[in-house]
């Protein structure tokens, strides 16, 4: 039985990864400091003998006994409201945490896959974004703590690959959605659905012409699985190239939820990217991967998940005034 360490295991993507690798017959070690993760996402795994969990901050030294075949480094705040609220922790998990886990991979002879992001492209001047585009990032802007943490993570990973010969993978994840997202974490999809469920107008920041491309979580997990088991060590985009404007997306949510709300517009946060669309040519060629779940089906599943949440989660606020907070 192969053993895999998954950091950020109690988060949105980490918990789905735990499920997938359990199904594939792996022994899974989950690790999370629960700063943004939730044990409810993985509590169904606790009774399984092939799963164990450690509450630990990977920015501190990471020790795992016994053999270790693979590491998935998914520990990091991932939404604007998180990394603006805890900027230092965001930088540390992308730098110190990545360094610790690369050292662990080297000592164990393990393959390590690190979760990068489309945010390394910043507000792109190239469209769609290919892996050889270097990006347009403001290192001292409010999003810089996340963007630069991920860019450093990629550089450190490549250094360990070229200098120490560590078997590395780098995935650049584009907007992903599905069950277990936090309803009020500030990202556009849960924000829209949460507003619809509460009977509030849908808030669009900017004029609504900025674009995003949304990938359903099951498709992303499949891409991660294939990349890990490949032999390709340079960055690979994984996302859905089906691009839509935020204004159009708001109308899709209103139609899906059958609500009567209108769309209201507010100023765009600083450095918010105007375009997001992955070029997935490399994923198609190297991994024989492309998304299978269309947005209508994925949104229906996600909406049903959010509707099933307790009322207190629906009205829980991550911050009392997100519009002001995001401009700090």
Segment 241-247 shows an average pLDDT of 93
Q: What is the pLDDT of residue 210?
A: 87
Q: What is the pLDDT of residue 328?
A: 36
- Residues 36-92: pLDDT tens digits? 999 999 999 999 999 999 999 999 999 999 999 999 999 999 888 888 899 999 999
Q: Tell me if 264 sits within 8 A of 201, measured CB to CB.
A: yes
Show which residues are catalytic. Answer: 146
308, burial (CB in 10 Å: exposed 0-12, middle 13-18, buried 19+):
exposed
- Residues 145-159: pLDDT tens digits? 999 999 999 999 999
Q: What is the pLDDT of residue 312?
A: 67
Question: What are the φ and ψ backbone dihedral angles of 135, each rounded to 5 degrees?
Answer: 100, 170
Distances from the Cα of 285 to the Cαs of 67, 133, 214, 232, 322, in angstroms? 32, 18, 21, 12, 41
Q: What is the pLDDT of residue 320?
A: 45
Query: Residue 201 gets which letter from DSSP?
Result: P
Paired tokens of 225: 């699985």
Q: Average pLDDT of the chain?
A: 92
């169904």: which residue's tokens?
44
Indicate the range of 87-96, 159-168, 173-182, 187-196 predicted with least confidence: 187-196
- Residues 265-314: pLDDT tens digits? 888 777 677 778 899 999 999 999 999 999 999 999 999 999 998 876 77
**Residues whose CB falls within 8 Å of the CB of residue 228, separated by 6 or more in sequence, listed in order:** 70, 72, 111, 113, 169
Residues 46, 280: Cα–Cα separation, whole Å: 36
Q: What is the pLDDT of residue 323?
A: 44
Q: Tell me if 20 sits within 8 A of 221, measured CB to CB.
A: yes
Residues 215, 231: Cα–Cα separation, whole Å: 24
- Characterise 130 by phi-psi region: left (phi > 0), alpha (psi -120 to 50), beta (else): beta
Q: What is the pLDDT of residue 74?
A: 98
219, burial (CB in 10 Å: exposed 0-12, middle 13-18, buried 19+):
buried
Q: Tell me if 71 sits within 8 A of 14, measured CB to CB.
A: no
Residues 187, 168: Cα–Cα separation, whole Å: 29
Segment 237-248 shows an average pLDDT of 94
Q: What is the pLDDT of residue 321?
A: 43
Distances from the Cα of 96 to the Cαs of 60, 91, 134, 149, in angstroms? 7, 8, 23, 10
Segment 319-327 shows an average pLDDT of 43
User: How far does CA 37 lie from the centroid of its chain?
Assistant: 12
pLDDT over 90, % of the chain:
73
Residues 51, 4: Cα–Cα separation, whole Å: 10
Q: What is the pLDDT of residue 316?
A: 66
Question: What are the φ and ψ backbone dihedral angles of 162, each rounded to 5 degrees?
Answer: -80, -35
Q: What domains can you pick out in the chain, each with its CATH number?
A: 3-176+216-238 (3.40.50.720), 183-213+241-277+293-325 (3.90.25.10)
């Amino acid at each position: 039985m192969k053993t895999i360490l998954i950091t950020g295991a109690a988060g949105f993507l980490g918990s789905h990864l735990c499920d997938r690798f359990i199904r594939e017959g792996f022994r899974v070690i989950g690790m999370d400091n629960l700063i943004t993760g939730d044990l409810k996402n993985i509590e169904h795994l606790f009774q399984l003998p092939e799963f164990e969990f450690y509450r630990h901050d990977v920015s501190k030294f990471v020790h795992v006994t016994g053999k270790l075949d693979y590491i998935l480094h998914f520990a990091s705040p991932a939404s604007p409201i998180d990394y603006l609220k805890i900027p230092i922790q965001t930088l540390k998990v992308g730098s110190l945490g990545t360094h610790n886990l690369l050292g662990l991979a080297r000592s164990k002879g393990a393959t390590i896959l690190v979760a990068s992001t489309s945010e390394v492209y910043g507000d792109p001047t190239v469209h769609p974004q290919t892996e050889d585009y270097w990006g347009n990032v403001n290192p001292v802007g409010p999003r810089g703590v996340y963007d630069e943490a991920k860019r450093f993570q990629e550089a450190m990973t490549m250094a360990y690959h070229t200098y120490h010969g560590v078997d590395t993978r780098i995935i650049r994840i584009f907007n992903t959605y599905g069950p277990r997202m936090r309803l009020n974490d500030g990202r556009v999809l849960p924000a829209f659905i949460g507003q619809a469920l509460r009977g509030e107008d849908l808030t669009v920041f900017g004029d609504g012409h900025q674009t995003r491309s949304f990938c359903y979580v099951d498709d992303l997990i499949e891409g991660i699985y294939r990349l890990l088991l490949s032999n390709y060590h340079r960055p690979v985009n994984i996302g859905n190239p089906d691009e839509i404007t935020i204004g159009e997306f708001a109308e899709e949510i209103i139609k899906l939820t059958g609500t009567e709300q209108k769309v209201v517009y507010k100023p765009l946060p600083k450095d918010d990217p105007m375009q997001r669309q992955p070029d997935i040519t490399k994923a198609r060629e190297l991994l024989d991967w492309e998304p299978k779940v269309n947005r209508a089906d994925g949104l229906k599943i996600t909406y049903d998940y959010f509707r099933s949440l307790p009322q207190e989660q629906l009205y829980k606020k991550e911050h009392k005034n997100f519009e002001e907070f995001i401009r700090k």
